Amino acid sequence: MSEKNRVDILEIMKRLPHRYPFLLVDRILELEENRVLGLKNVTFNEPFFQGHFPQEPVMPGVLILEAMGQVAAMMVLYLPGSENLAPYLTGVEHAKFRRPVRPGDQLITEAKAQRFRRRMGKVSVRATVEGELAAEAVLSFLLAERLDTKKGDA
């Protein structure tokens, strides 16, 4: 794998509008036109662990879906013409959670493009921990103009 197909956190922050505590992608390990592989390091210091099953810390499923969506968004945001666009999640299909994700885990998400039409698309995502399937889904999205890049804003 070449270094040019990797994306660090600084570049992720340039592309995704998310910020703490909702930026849930630490690194893109592989980036291709129709496939991306992303990494989320899960640490006990994250705020959701304080109240979500504090005696048995488990990453909430909705945040696993969000992390998977952000990895998929990185693939879409590297398409030509998407520089000033933001991805909006419009649908979740066939979501399944297969194992808990806990502090200390590395959540590896693979996203593959299923269908793209103009500014809409579908992506299949699979998240694993140590090679074991943790979650999977099909995500639908819409690309819209980023609010922070609209012309004429004061």
CA–CA separation, 67 and 73 (whole Å): 10
Q: What are phi and psi of 146, to 5 degrees?
A: -70, 135
Torsion on CA atoms 79, 82, 86, 92, rounded to nearest 10: -30
Catalytic residue among 6, 18, 27, 52: 52
131: left (phi over 0), alpha (psi -120 to 50) or beta: left
Helix, strand, or coil (residue 89): strand
Q: Is position 52 annotated as part of the catalytic site? A: yes
Residues with catalytic roles: 52
